[in-house]
Amino acid sequence: MVMKEQLALDTNIAIDVLNGNKHIIQLLEEVSTLFLPVTVCGELLFGAKNSGRPVDNEKLFRQFISACELLPNDLAIAETYAEIRKKLKDTGRPIPENDIWIAASCIAHGIPLASRDQHFKEVEGLELVTL
């Protein structure tokens, strides 16, 4: 598989990295810049706080987050979010709310998203990389 120069990670891929998935880590080593949408950061930090080892996991997750470039939300992403959500509603194919924000961030910044969630295929204009 030929990897992209820039790639945003969905939460499931970030968790794979944090869990030491050698295959995923090896694939991502070919990517020059890894991005995390701020929504993914929130999901990761919630997962750490909600885990059986919140202190250890939060420290690990924060180190991982700091090693990536963040994609913050702004008005352009909010507008993209609204467009995506409306199209999904009109087609009767809703996806989880946080995933709409993640998709909007990637589309607005023109960065492909690595995820195993197939429902991202419903989002028009999103370049999805399945690992």
**How do residues 60-109 score in pLDDT, each as one tens digit?**
999 999 999 999 999 999 999 999 999 999 999 999 999 999 999 999 99
**How much is the pLDDT for 3?**
64
Indicate the CATH number for domain 6-129: 3.40.50.1010
Cβ atoms of residues 113 and 120 within 8 Å: yes
124: pLDDT strictly greater than 60 = yes
**How much is the pLDDT for 131?**
84
Indicate the helix (H) or strand (E) that contains 64. Answer: helix 54-66
114: pLDDT strictly greater than 70 = yes
Alpha helices in the chain, H assignment, sequence order: 11-18, 22-28, 38-49, 54-66, 75-91, 97-109
- Residue 2's pLDDT band (cuts 50, 70, 90): low
